[in-house]
């Protein structure tokens, strides 16, 4: 698309804007009528530990958001010579879960408690048992119930609870709503009714009946909306809050705010049943869209939904590439010591591809990449660890291969429950994130771990900000009764299926053999945690 065509599109308000607040970066992506990015902006930020709580202040949130938006409009002005005044549709997304509660004056009652806080073990355990449904510690309802159990003073004055994405959407539009995927990380969703689970709402109210909270939980939760539904428009006050220059006009339609898991599914075209995606970077998680309910409750599996409301099983692990990156940096240091200039992309490429020449089972080597705890394997803390026996095949290829394998070790532990025990069928997985940057390597390892074809698309690198922009575009441009998966397949990803890789049977067996060694060796990791104090 030429510059003049893009300029006209922006001037006439025919673009869609998506902004996602991730844990380390806020990113904005503006897309054209063909759903491809035409401009972007970003702002780097970091959570802080205050009084034992991981949080971002309201100043962090609004200052970061305004800076991110300003950088976007500056890029638009520099590239196309246009001042952004109107946009076809806007969507907001953010890291899911956490705790934001407000009083009758719409004031935040306690500092924002992010998903990272593991302070709700008691509440999560009780709710999981009562609901017969896995409630992870990071979920909003677990934070709410823990605050009740703790006897926190503010609880009886709660008038509204939401997530970070829901909060921003509310302040910009006045609407107390959430997209269903984001809502499913607050409270369990019934995929048949596409709303909060009525029976679990009732059970929660019964649990707190003697606590004198003064409200029913359904009264304080946001309204649930599906992808494609209208979620309000930008108010005059909201426009001034987002754009400090005053150029942005009110009245712009908003799509339902979503969570980063849902926008990741959209950005990888994995919202249809029997598809899924794996996001692999500092942490790693897999999302698989289900055809039917699971047979039993598994603490290793979270149940959320797509932005269209279909049930999704999620395996979330805290550790992925940090230890792998540390070893690559060690090789960089070695090379520099010999006076060799090092290009990091080239170094990753050499070492990752070397792993493909190793033994299928890593030659008997064992490693754990636990920089932090890992709930899948029941660790509250972690110690990065490499172990071998005297007769292990200790080669560079096997060394790199075992660290690639262990980056997905905890994930495979959870996925084996889903794919082998629950017999969930998956036709294809889409990979995105840093692990897949070296072409073909992470993809081949993931295909072996899941015994499923894996595709990697170049556009997946655009991330969740592009995903929420696509949801805004879907709301504006969908045809009557068009589904989200049809819109994505036809209007966005048609002809872009990515590079597809079929699992190699020898690699599949090798990963299974490695996982047996990995599972049996967890006692070694336990000993390291207990005897190497931080």
Based on the number of CB atoms within 10 Å of its own CB, is 349 exposed (0-12), middle (13-18) or buried (19 or more)? middle
- From the list 21, 470, 472, 467, the residue with the least C-alpha distance to 242 is 21
- From the list 308, 234, 315, the residue with the least C-alpha distance to 280 is 315
- Paired sense of beta strands 223-225 and 177-179, if any: parallel
Average pLDDT over residues 327-338: 96
Percent of the chain with pLDDT over 90: 88
Helix (H) or strand (E) holding 49: strand 48-50
DSSP 8-state symbol, 318: S
Residues with Cβ within 8 Å of 491's Cβ and at least 6 positions away in sequence, in order, are: 35, 477
Most confident range, picked from 283-292, 373-382, 502-511: 502-511
Report pLDDT for 497: 63
Q: Which two tokens stand for residue 125?
A: 């355990």
DSSP, residue by residue, 413-442: HHHHIIIIIS----SEEEEESGGG-STTHH
pLDDT over threshold 70, residue 459? no
pLDDT over threshold 80, residue 461? no
DSSP 8-state symbol, 222: P
Q: For residue 19, give the 3-state DSSP assignment.
A: strand
Q: Which two tokens stand for residue 74?
A: 């500056």
Report pLDDT for 23: 85
What is the pTM for the complete model shown?
0.88
Report pLDDT for 296: 93
Report pLDDT for 433: 81
Range with the poorest average pLDDT among 47-51, 106-110, 146-150: 47-51
DSSP 8-state symbol, 452: S
Please give the radius of gyration of the chain, using alpha carbons only, rounded to the nearest integer.
23
Range with the poorest average pLDDT among 271-275, 280-284, 343-347, 368-372: 280-284
Better pLDDT: 492 or 281? 492
pLDDT over threshold 90, residue 373? no
Percent of the chain with pLDDT over 70: 99
Please state, in angstroms and rounded to a whole number, the distance separating the CA atoms of residues 288 and 290.
Answer: 6
pLDDT over threshold 60, residue 469? yes
Q: Do domains 3-259 and 270-456+504-534 have the same CATH topology?
A: yes
- From the list 336, 375, 472, the residue with the least C-alpha distance to 124 is 375
Q: What is the pLDDT of residues 59-102, one digit of tens each?
A: 999 999 999 999 999 999 999 999 999 999 999 999 999 999 99
Q: If you search the block for the tokens 């005297």, which residue do you land on?
A: 390
Q: For residue 121, give the 3-state DSSP assignment.
A: helix
Please state, in angstroms and rounded to a whole number, the distance separating the CA atoms of residues 246 and 31.
Answer: 22
412: confidence class by pLDDT, cuts 50, 70, 90: very high
Please state, in angstroms and rounded to a whole number, the distance separating the CA atoms of residues 276 and 290.
Answer: 9
Give domain limits for the chain.
3-259, 270-456+504-534
Residues with Cβ within 8 Å of 419's Cβ and at least 6 positions away in sequence, in order, are: 426, 450, 451, 452
- From the list 387, 445, 462, the residue with the least C-alpha distance to 37 is 462
Q: What is the pLDDT of residues 415-445, one digit of tens each?
A: 999 999 999 999 989 988 889 889 999 999 9
Q: For residue 20, give the 3-state DSSP assignment.
A: strand
- From the list 66, 109, 102, 83, the residue with the least C-alpha distance to 240 is 66
Q: What is the pLDDT of residues 11-46, one digit of tens each?
A: 999 999 999 999 889 999 999 999 999 999 999 999
DSSP, residue by residue, 479-513: PTT--HHHHIIIIISTT---EEEPPPHHHHHHHHH
Q: What is the pLDDT of residues 161-213, one digit of tens each?
A: 999 999 999 999 999 999 999 999 999 999 999 999 999 999 999 999 999 99
172 in Cβ contact with 181 (< 8 Å)? no
Q: Kindly report the CATH number that applies to the domain delimited by 270-456+504-534.
A: 3.30.420.40
Mean pLDDT, rounded, of the chain = 94
Superfamily of domain 3-259: ATPase, nucleotide binding domain (3.30.420.40)
pLDDT over threshold 60, residue 460? no
∠76-79-80 over CA atoms, to 5°? 75
Q: If you search the block for the tokens 């070893």, which residue do you land on?
A: 327
Please state, in angstroms and rounded to a whole number, the distance separating the CA atoms of residues 8 and 415.
Answer: 48
**Distance of CA 493 to CAs 3, 34, 36, 51, Å?**
23, 11, 10, 46
**Alpha helices per DSSP H over 39-95:** 58-80
Report pLDDT for 462: 67
């Amino acid at each position: 698309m030429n510059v003049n065509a893009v300029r006209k599109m922006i001037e006439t308000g025919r673009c869609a804007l998506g902004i996602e607040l991730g844990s380390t970066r806020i990113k904005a992506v503006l897309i054209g009528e063909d759903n491809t990015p035409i401009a972007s902006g970003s702002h780097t930020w970091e959570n802080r530990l205050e009084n034992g709580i991981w949080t971002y202040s309201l100043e962090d949130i609004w200052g970061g958001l305004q800076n991110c938006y300003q950088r976007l409009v500056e890029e638009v002005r520099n590239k196309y010579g246009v001042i952004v005044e109107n946009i076809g549709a806007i969507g907001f997304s953010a890291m899911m879960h956490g705790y934001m509660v407000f009083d009758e004056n719409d004031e935040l009652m306690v500092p924002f408690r992010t998903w990272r806080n593991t302070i709700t073990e008691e509440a999560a355990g009780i709710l999981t048992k009562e609901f017969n449904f896995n409630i992870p510690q990071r979920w909003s309802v677990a934070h709410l119930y823990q605050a009740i159990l703790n006897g926190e003073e503010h609880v009886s004055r709660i008038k509204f609870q939401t997530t970070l994405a829901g909060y921003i959407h509310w302040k910009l539009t006045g609407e107390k709503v959430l997209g269903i995927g984001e809502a499913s990380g607050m409270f369990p969703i019934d995929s048949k009714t596409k709303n909060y689970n009525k029976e679990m709402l009732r059970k929660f109210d019964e649990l707190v009946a003697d606590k004198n909270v003064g409200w029913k939980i359904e009264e304080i939760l946001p309204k649930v909306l599906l992808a494609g539904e209208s979620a309000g428009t930008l108010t005059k006050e909201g426009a001034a809050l987002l754009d400090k220059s005053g150029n942005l006009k009110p009245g712009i339609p908003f799509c339902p705010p979503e969570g980063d898991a849902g926008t990741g599914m959209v950005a990888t075209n994995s919202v249809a049943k029997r598809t899924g995606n794996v996001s692999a970077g500092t942490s790693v998680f897999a999302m698989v869209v289900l055809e039917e309910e699971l047979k039993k409750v598994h603490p290793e599996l979270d149940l959320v939904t797509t932005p269209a409301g279909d049930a999704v099983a999620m395996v979330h692990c805290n550790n992925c590439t940090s230890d792998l990156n540390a070893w690559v940096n060690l090789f960089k240091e070695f090379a520099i010591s010999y006076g060799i200039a090092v290009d990091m992309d080239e170094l990753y490429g050499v070492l990752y591809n070397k792993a493909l020449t190793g033994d299928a089972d890593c030659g008997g080597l064992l490693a754990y990449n636990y920089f932090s705890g890992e709930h899948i394997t029941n660790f509250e803390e972690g110690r990065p660890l490499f172990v071998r026996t005297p007769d292990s095949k200790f080669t560079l290829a096997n060394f790199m291969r075992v660290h690639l394998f262990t980056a997905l070790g905890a994930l495979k532990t959870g996925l084996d429950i889903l794919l082998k025990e629950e017999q969930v069928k998956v036709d294809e997985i889409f990979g995105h994130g840093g692990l897949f940057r070296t072409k073909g390597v992470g993809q081949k390892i993931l295909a072996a771990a899941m015994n499923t074809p894996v595709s990697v698309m170049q556009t997946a690198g655009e991330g969740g900000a592009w995903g929420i922009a696509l949801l805004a575009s879907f709301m504006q441009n969908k045809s009557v009764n068009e589904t989200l998966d049809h819109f994505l397949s036809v209007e966005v990803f048609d002809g872009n299926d990515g590079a597809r890789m079929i699992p190699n049977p020898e690699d599949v067996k090798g990963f299974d053999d490695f996982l047996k060694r990995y599972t049996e060796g967890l006692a070694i990791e336990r000993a390291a945690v207990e005897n190497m104090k931080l």
